[in-house]
Structure 1
Amino acid sequence: MHKHIAIITALEYLRERLGHQSFQLLDHWNGDRMAIGIASPNDANWLVYIACTDTLPSAYTAILERGSSPDDEIPYEECGSFEGLDINGLADVVSAHLQH
């Protein structure tokens, strides 16, 4: 996995705070070093897209998604978005969404 250190730090912190089995990696953005996807370990239809930027790597963006209805063209629909999160705020958002 070739991700920015801020993304790796976030994943390590989320595992420590929420537990090692609290999410699964579901990286639809393989070539993007500044972003990663994680999903509920029980239902991959509940996804959080986590991103940061080179200019402010400690401020995270979290886009919350859930599976859309089977007849929709797009497999996920956005159901929330947060910008400028510190690592604790990111953990709070991830925990709440993935426990749906």
Structure 2
Amino acid sequence: MKYFADKFGTDKFKIKDHWDADLHSIGLTDFSEKNLIYFSSYGKTDNVFYVALENPPQDNNGHPYTPAGDFDQVDLKGLEDLFIRHLRIKT
């Protein structure tokens, strides 16, 4: 998270840490809190991540989001690219 704050500023995204039991993961959203990127380093080597993207719900099935992609073995550059694209960060 510090990497993104230092590179893009804290005015571009919000921290959404829904995973208190998982100290190796964090979620970041856009300011509307509609799109979320979750990433985890649990069981990974340095600067390699599991990434899940979530969009707003598209139906009334009770799910709070719509899955938008899961990625494993993502390096830091790949994580940055997904972060920029999914949260629509202006660079």
TM-score normalised over the length of structure 2: 0.84
Structure 1 gaps of 5+ residues are 1-10
Q: CA deviation at 1:59?
A: 0.7
Structure 2 gaps of 5+ residues are none
Residue of 51, 59, 67 corresponding to 1:78:
67
Question: How many residues matched?
Answer: 89
The one-letter code of the counterpart of 2:29 is A
Q: Determine helix, strand or coil for the equivalent of 1:64.
A: strand
Q: Determine helix, strand or coil for the equivalent of 2:54.
A: strand
The one-letter code of the counterpart of 2:88 is Q
- Judge conservation of contact 1:34–1:53 (CA < 8 Å) in 2: yes
Percent identical pairs in the alignment equals 26
Tell me the C-alpha RMSD between the 2 structures: 1.8
> After the TM superposition, which residues 1-16 of structure 1 pair with which residues of structure 2 at under 5 Å, given as runs?
11-16=1-6
User: Matches of 1:31 and 1:78 in 2, distance apart?
Assistant: 22
